[in-house]
Amino acid sequence: MVWRRKPAGRIGAPGAGHHTPHRWLLALALAAATAIALPLVFFSLLVIWTFDRWIRPRSPLFRWLD
């Protein structure tokens, strides 16, 4: 694979290329598909996101975690 991407006549690592995969988009799509197929997963993700985004930063009990 490296030899196919290696620039001709140059020394060094090959470039990343123009077609880098977006793994985060795939992970988001899989999470969305799972959440649609299993509604309890959706509600669990929603509760965890709400806790992590809104409750934990405002609670003095959890400030020692940061």
What are the extents of the domains in the chain? 38-66
**What is the rounded distance in angstroms from the CA atom of residue 30 to the CA atom of residue 41?**
12
Per-residue model confidence as pLDDT tens digits over 5-49? 666 777 766 666 665 567 878 888 988 898 888 989 889 988 988
Q: Which DSSP symbol is given to 61? A: G
- Contact 30/36 with Cβ under 8 angstroms? no
**What is the rounded distance in angstroms from the CA atom of residue 47 to the CA atom of residue 56?**
12
| Residue 49 pLDDT | 87
